[in-house]
Chain A
Amino acid sequence: SQQGEEDPQALSIQEGENATMNCSYKTSINNLQWYRQNSGRGLVHLILIRSNEREKHSGRLRVTLDTSKKSSSLLITASRAADTASYFCVNSGGYQKVTFGIGTKLQVIP
């Protein structure tokens, strides 16, 4: 298994601002997924970007992937208080067992 490293570990912004969080791996990236976890709940799948894609959009989410740097970023535009959550990345390609990192804890202040 392998584990991604999310950065920063914590982020606090004002409502309406954009939030950017990053993810890096030591091994090659195949298919990278981002998840959100609201406090004390399960994880929710947000978006998947494949290794042959460089950018993907879903509503207010924008994900980029740089396979040469083995990194990805998640941008949330025009943040809302409801975006307050922890965000995790997972590299799920090429093997069965995947693990999640510590995540980025995002706080959006109203």
Chain B
Amino acid sequence: DVKVTQSSRYLVKRTGEKVFLECVQDMDHENMFWYRQDPGLGLRLIYFSYDVKMKEKGDIPEGYSVSREKKERFSLILESASTNQTSMYLCASSSRWRGGAEGYGYTFGSGTRLTVV
């Protein structure tokens, strides 16, 4: 019953490293999203994608980039990790054709807790 899989549950990286967070969904969803969640700030949208090779900036894209070469995979890239990027990262997907997020909601992965030291 696996739906959205994030490659790592916990990750520790050093400042300045290039970090890749991977997300794979097996539901043939068109839409994929990356959020970060911090205490007191809720979930903030970083990037989203509505199709292969398409991407759009969310509310806080600075310091991040994304890649969507295949429909099922959406990668979040921290070009040069910094301590202020220590956070919980959540990936989500939704279907466009079955009413999109309106019809069936978002399916989330379990999250990746990233610590940058």
Residues in chain A within 8 A of chain B (CB atoms)? 1, 3, 30-31, 33, 35, 40-45, 48, 88, 90, 92-93, 96-103
A100 with B108: in contact, given A1-B45, A42-B90 (CB under 8 Å)?
A: no
Q: Number of contacting residues on B, CB 8 A?
A: 30
Enumerate chain A residues within 8 angstroms of B88, measured Cβ to Cβ: 40
Enumerate chain B residues within 8 angstroms of A92, measured Cβ to Cβ: 100-102, 105
**How close is B41's CB to chain A, nearest CB, in angstroms?**
7
Q: CB-defined interface of B77-112 with A at 8 Å, one 1/0 digit per residue?
A: 000000000001010100000001111111111110
What is the bound-complex CA distance between A48 and B100, given in angstroms? 12
Taking a contact as CB atoms under 8 Å apart, the answer to whether B35 and A41 are in contact is: no
Taking a contact as CB atoms under 8 Å apart, the answer to whether B59 and A45 are in contact is: no
Residue in contact with B58 in the complex, picked from A88, A90, A97, CB distance below 8 Å: A97
Taking a contact as CB atoms under 8 Å apart, the answer to whether A30 and B42 are in contact is: no
Q: Which of B44, B100, B101, B109 has the most CB of A within 10 A?
A: B101
B13 sits at the interface (CB 8 A)? no
**How close is B2's CB to chain A, nearest CB, in angstroms?**
12
Residue in contact with A43 in the complex, picked from B31, B59, B90, CB distance below 8 Å: B90
Residue in contact with A99 in the complex, picked from B40, B44, B56, CB distance below 8 Å: B44
Q: Which of A35, A41, A42, A88 has the most CB of B within 10 A?
A: A42
Q: Which of A3, A88, A93, A100 has the most CB of B within 10 A?
A: A100
Residues in chain B within 8 A of chain A (CB atoms)? 4, 31, 35, 40-45, 48, 50, 56, 58-59, 88, 90, 92, 100-111, 113
What is the bound-complex CA distance between A97 and B48, given in angstroms? 8
26 contacts between A and B (CB under 8 A): A3-B42, A35-B105, A35-B106, A40-B88, A40-B111, A40-B113, A42-B4, A42-B90, A42-B92, A43-B43, A43-B108, A44-B108, A45-B104, A48-B102, A48-B103, A88-B42, A88-B43, A90-B101, A90-B106, A92-B102, A96-B50, A97-B45, A98-B101, A99-B42, A99-B45, A102-B41
Taking a contact as CB atoms under 8 Å apart, the answer to whether B59 and A99 are in contact is: yes
What is the bound-complex CA distance between A33 and B100, given in angstroms? 12
Taking a contact as CB atoms under 8 Å apart, the answer to whether B90 and A31 are in contact is: no
